[in-house]
Chain A
Amino acid sequence: MTKLLPFLLFVPILFGCAAYNFEKVEMNLNAGKSQEAYQYLKKNEPKKPDIPHKFELGLIAHYADLFPESSKAFEQAEMIAEDRFTKSITKEGLSLFTSDKLRPYTGSKYERLIAHYYHALNYIYQDKIDDALVECRRATNLINYFKGSSDDYDFFGTGFIAYFCAILFETAGEVNDAFISYRQAEQYYKNAAERTSISVPEDIGHSLVRISRRLSFTDEYEHYKRVYGEPPAQEENHGELILFYETGYVPKKKQQSLTFPILKTDKFGEDDDEETITFARTLRTREGMVVEEVKLEYLLRIAVPTIRSKRPYLQGIQVSVGNKTTDGVLVEDIERNAIETFNDNRPIILLRTLIRGLLKYLTFKQADKKNPIVGSIVNLAGAITESADTRSWQSLPNQIYMVRVQLPEGTHRLRLSFLNPDGHIGNNRSVSGVVIKANQITLLNFRTYE
């Protein structure tokens, strides 16, 4: 029984404080039960507030129309992320002997940015435009901070957020701020285009023409008109509908186990001058190598996270009102953001994992020298604690499309046609009671999970 004690104590490390199973959330969402999904997440909240749980809670509350609850969760998530700027030496150190899961999760940069999109929408649906604009200013500051923190910032998600903020500023009548945000959106989309494959949406160009003319910025107006052409004329007694269509789920990170042979000829662990990082780099080239048993000293097992594309069945939208049909435009590809961010982080994840594996091996070796039974226990403990850090905001959509259409003042019924990968209609829904006011913007978002 005494021998089992250390392993029992390691159990909390494996499961951490995360007490929820995302598959249950997903099942409820897929069945259209966002309230139940929210209740489940709320009931299974970690004892200590944590992310990504707060992100999940915020988004699911948003879909359940629990806007104040959603905002509260996003606010807490942002505070946790800010607090985690300060790294804990203890946790960083312990993670090198156990698992990367022990490192406090701050959320990816694109995750932190997109939280402001949902947070702002919460306020829009509560008719609190000033508070929605606060979220835009916070997102803008966060982008500036990310830009200033790294010379090779990837700009993932920034184009969409700046575009969304430009629309909100325009909705609130803050035309100059809208102009600045449209201009930033244009630049950010260009900065990230090589890796996200999303070019500057045509509407951004047209908005720049429209707003520079309204502000009497003659030089800018001439420039943007030359580049993007004249936008469609604003019709009288019309307002605008802007609908964000969110489809599918961002792919989840999964765990993959890898084995690396440590050979009897390796000097690692015997010579004090041997550098762990250098040997870890050597080992990285031996991934999955077949080795004769006589040459083998130890099989190092490690677990690393992986991520693979998982596009949803529905990948586009058409919105029809009466005889008028408008196509949606892809404005954000969260899957690409997730995969590209992961690929950027992969070398350091692998290196950290190998260093951890080697430290476990060294601990084993020292224990084994003194007592082979203790060595076995240490070896087993190392194997049990080895698990990949697969944390991410899992309820995020895979892609976001946007439809911007002028409609006559009044109450409308929208027909939403969702497109399959071949561009044919894969599913339909209708949304009634959409109120359009003259010269104003009505904002909506809609999610499918297929």
Chain B
Amino acid sequence: MKKVLSCLMLIGIIVVSGCGPTTQVTRLDSDTTVDLSGKWNDTDSRMVADQMIDDCLTHIWINNHNQEKGAKPAVIVGFVRNKSNEHIATQTFISDIERAFINSGKVRPVEGKDVRDEIRAERADQSENAAIETIKRMGRELGADYMLYGQINTIEDREGGRQIMFYQTDLTLSNIESLEKVWIGTKKIKKFIGRKKLKL
């Protein structure tokens, strides 16, 4: 009798515990690499941006520009199209690229379209409402010499519990005046995602 009751109670407890709260929070350093689902994550975004910009800034185009113009090139990060099969926050990736550009000190990044419009609106507002000695002037923006743009693609191969995710990021830097492509970079990431068929 006791054995049967214990057995039934155990089953009940297992089921009841399945519905209970299981949240546990642990703070991590933002540079820590944690792969949970195998999908594109913050580490991929940061790593790809750093490595590609590193490649971009050691390329010959930057020396050519410096020699020709005698000044650091002004670069605008345009669009990065997500052509993958994941919802990738491309804005985060763009921010990572801009950060890498600024930290290098080799180029002068300028604001992209959305922020530019916001700042212009602010300047227009200043011209009507700000104290005259603090008004920022119109027509003094730094025009970009180059635009960086690109896309992220994925190829997925899957069989049973085994999955290969292949990410390819392509970035192109083009001269805004001449439309000449001065640099093309590619970064590939390959991930294996394994799922067990059974667990306890």
Which residue numbers of A lie inside 8 Å of B, CB to CB?
2, 5-6, 8-10, 12-13, 17, 46-48, 75, 79, 82, 85-90, 94, 97-98, 102, 130-131, 133-134, 137-138, 140-141, 144-145, 148-149, 367, 371, 373-374, 377-378, 381
Contact = CB atoms under 8 A, between A and B. Distances in A.
Interface of B: 1, 4-5, 8-9, 11-16, 18-22, 37, 81-87, 154, 156, 158-161, 195-200
Nearest to A85: B195
The 10 closest A-B pairs by CB, nearest first: A9-B12, A6-B8, A137-B85, A17-B19, A85-B195, A138-B85, A86-B196, A47-B19, A12-B15, A141-B156
Contacts of A13: 11-12, 15
B200 A6 contact: no
A131 B83 CA distance: 9
Contacts of A377: 4
Given A131-B87, A138-B85, A141-B156, A9 B16 contact: yes
B200 A149 contact: no
B11 A130 contact: no
Contacts of A367: 4
Given A9-B8, A134-B86, A87 B199 contact: yes
Nearest to A131: B87
Contacts of B9: 5-6, 9
Contacts of A2: 5
Contacts, number: 100
A295 to B, nearest CB: 29
B190 to A, nearest CB: 16
Contacts of A141: 85, 156, 158
A377 B4 CA distance: 9
Q: Is the interface of B mostly helix, strand, loop or mixed?
A: mixed
Given A10-B11, A138-B85, A140-B85, 15 more contacts: A6-B4, A12-B15, A13-B11, A48-B22, A75-B87, A82-B195, A85-B195, A86-B196, A87-B197, A87-B198, A88-B200, A102-B15, A137-B85, A145-B158, A148-B158
A89 B199 CA distance: 6
Contact of A47 (B11, B20, B37, B158): B20
B200 A90 contact: yes
Contacts of A131: 82, 87
A332 B198 CA distance: 35
A273 B160 CA distance: 34
Nearest to B7: A6
A371 B196 CA distance: 42
Contacts of A140: 85
Contacts of B83: 130, 133
Contacts of B85: 134, 137-138, 140-141
A86 B197 contact: yes
Given A5-B9, A148-B158, A86 B195 contact: yes
A2 B4 CA distance: 12
A8 B16 CA distance: 11
A89 B83 CA distance: 38
A137 B84 contact: yes
Contact of A12 (B4, B12, B87, B156): B12
12 contacts: A6-B12, A9-B11, A9-B16, A12-B15, A85-B161, A86-B195, A87-B197, A87-B198, A89-B199, A137-B84, A137-B154, A149-B159
Q: Which of A2, A9, A17, A133 has the most CB of B within 10 A?
A: A9
A381 B8 contact: yes
Given A87-B198, A134-B85, A148-B159, A48 B18 contact: yes
A428 B18 CA distance: 48
B104 to A, nearest CB: 29
A168 to B, nearest CB: 13
A144 B83 CA distance: 18
A97 B7 CA distance: 12
B87 to A, nearest CB: 6
A79 B197 CA distance: 16
A110 B174 CA distance: 45
Q: Which of A5, A46, A137 has the most CB of B within 10 A?
A: A137
Nearest to A79: B37
Nearest to A10: B12
Contacts of B5: 2, 5-6
